[in-house]
Structure formats: C-alpha cells, structure tokens
Amino acid sequence: MIGRRCVVLFSITLLLFLSNAREASEIAPLAIPAPPGLAAKSYLLVDYNTGKIIAEKEPDLRLEPASLTKMMTAYIVSFQIRHGGLKPDDLVLISSNAHKTIGSRTFVEPGSRVTVRDLMYGLVVQSGNDASVALAEHIGGSEAGFVSMMNEMAGRLGMTSTLFANSTGLPVEGGGPDSHYSTARDLAILARAVIRDHPRHYQLYSVEEFTYNNIKQKNRNTLLLHDPSVDGIKTGHTSAAGYCLVASAKRGDMRLISVLLGARNEQQRGTESLRILNYGFRFYETIRLTESNKQLGNVKVWGGELDDVAIAVADDFYVTLQTGQSKSLVREFKVSDDLVAPISVGQKLGMLNYMLGNKLVAELPLVALKPVEEGGFLTRTADSFKRLFK
C-alpha cells in the first residue's frame, strides 16, 4: 500500500507520439463539427475498444429491433458452442413450425436434418427466420424456452432496456410495442459482445452470400460491398421498426460500431450508417495507452532479495480522443519510495496517470511483474538503517 510517506518517486512527463515538427503541436486544433443529423428515429456511434459514445440521437428510445434480434440468437448459439453444449456439425431436425416461419428464409425442408453450421450461415448471412427458429427449438427445447435464454443473456450483458419475445424479430401476433423491444444503446452492447466474445463466429457477418438448397442469397448488409472496412453486422426491417442496421468497421487500429434504427428505406439505412461511421473515423482516434504486462520501469524495494522490482499495467487500456489530441497526452508515474519486501506478483505499487492539459484521461494501477522475497537478516538490518537516514 502507499502510505503517508508516499511521494512521487519519479514523475515522467512524456509527450507521446510527438513528431519532429515541434511547432506543429503548438497550433491549437480546429474544433470538431457536430455529428451529422441522420434520417433515423434513433442512432448511436460507439468506439468498440473503449465503449465511448461518439454520437447519439435518442439512444434509449424503445423500438422494435426486427431482425437485429438475430444477433442475440446467434450469440447464444456461439455461446453454446464455446462452452461445449453444441457442435457445428450437430444435426438439427427441422420442424414444420420452423419450416413455415414467414419472412426471410433459408428454405430448410421440414423433416430434414441440417448442421448447426449451415443454420448459422442461414441465420447470419440470409437472415433466415426458419433457420433461427430451428436453432432456437434445438437449443431451448422450444422457441419459448430459447427466448427465456435470450432474455437471461441480455440481463447478463447489461442490456437493461431490452425484452425479446421470439428468436427472429418478427412482429408479435396480437402484441403491442412493449412485447418485443430494444434500444440503440442495448444493441451496441450486444454488438460489442458478439465481436469480443466470439471472434471466430463474428467472421460469418462479413460473408457476402450463402447458398442452401440450391438457392443463393446475398447478405442484406450492402455496406459490405461499398466499404472494405465494414465487416458486419446485421440488418433488420419490419413495417413497425422501419429499416435498421448495426454496422461495424475497422480502419487501422480503430473499430467503430454504429446502430441506426427507423430509417425510411434500405438505401437510407446504408448511406446514413456510412455517414456516421465516416464522421467517427475522421474526427476521432483510438489510442492504446498501455500493453498488458509490458515492463515500464523498475522501482526500489527495501529489505528484499532483489534491490528493485519491475512494474507494469496488468491490462491493455484504450482511450478515444479527438484526432490529434494524442500529441499532447502526458503520462506520469507515481510510485511509493518506501516499498518493503516481500512483494507479490500483481501487487499494486503505484499509479500511472495520463493527462490531457488539466484533465485526467486515465488512472491505471501499476503492479509488480515478479515477486521479491524478503532478504536475509543482514540485508533487512542494513536497509532499515538506510531507510531511517534516507
């Protein structure tokens, strides 16, 4: 612990990523323009790595998510595969109930057996409602049983304004607007989880077409064709929901997720989503401040078998900044000068602060990379005297 005698052992002021043109950093950056107004009922733009919201409009407005619902259906399928409850080659018996599901379809035949893998392609690429119901029945015993799993998972992920009534996003027969709903904020949480938790399965969302039963269908996310940085995620449409799109794009080290709900037509949901993505990439950047367990220096240890210990930050840490601000980012190490052995791996020894002007951007704990055992009697005695006159 850092006690009363805690002082700044060393304070390093370091201008990160500074170019040779020093005078360029002295020019104040231009103010960032306001985000473009999008033709949609609700939208949100978020940095995948940091969760920072860059732009938003009515992000907590409850709306029908249409086929964006299938992101949760696919997430649970991936979850089951990851935890051993399901295998991609498992065969799913197609029920007549799944076969007759209306709307977009994969055209699976009743009584046939289809692999989980093919149904996932049908679900994600073709947005097949029949594939969605077939998977739901297989995993949950019934679609209703699967829906309870969907809502439990939504709670685990922190989707506090979401309620699922089916696995497809189809309008609930006889149901009102409160029977099946979500928000742009919650769908962004789900999108981040899809990418973070199941990266191998996320690759399905960039597949441009899939053929099943000799019927070829294209991915409805047209941004996959118009922007090579876009690699997902999902479209949706019903008359009540309008045209919806959750899109994700990665340019360099920065990944952004946009959620757009309630556009008027298919073209509009694509162009408006691309507008807000371009805005985010143009005016913001993602910076990795620290790399997990990378040694940042050494600090003095008293009374130990070693004279010092290596320090680091335990996890990768990212921040979202306005473009160009990283040149003015300053980091400061604050570590006690009175550390006494024994020191254990991962023990907190100080703080690493990142400042932008007078604003604290990040405050990260510095931890020991290796243990330092207590030294012998002579070492401890000598160091005790040194500490007294230090």
Task: Tell me whether residue 78 is one of the annotated catalytic residues.
Answer: no
Torsion angle of C-alpha atoms 378, 379, 381, 387, degrees rounded to 10: 160
Residue 67 annotated to the active site: yes
Assess whether 327 carries a catalytic annotation.
Answer: no
How far apart, in Å, are the Cα atoms of 324 and each of 4, 27, 87, 198?
Answer: 38, 11, 47, 33
Helix/strand/coil for 245? strand
Q: Strand, coil or helix: what is 14?
A: coil
Size of the chain, expressed as the number of residues it contains: 390
CA nearest to 187, candidates 358, 63, 9, 319: 63
Q: Which of 41, 57, 70, 234 is catalytic?
A: 70
Are 324 and 356 in contact by the 8 Å Cβ rule? The answer is: no
Catalytic residue among 78, 127, 132, 248: 127
| Contact yes or no for 268/283 (Cβ under 8 A) | no
Nearest-5° Cα angle at 289, 11 to 313: 70
Q: Which of 42, 67, 95, 167 is catalytic?
A: 67
Cβ–Cβ under 8 Å, residues 163 and 181: yes
Q: What residues are labeled active site?
A: 67, 70, 127
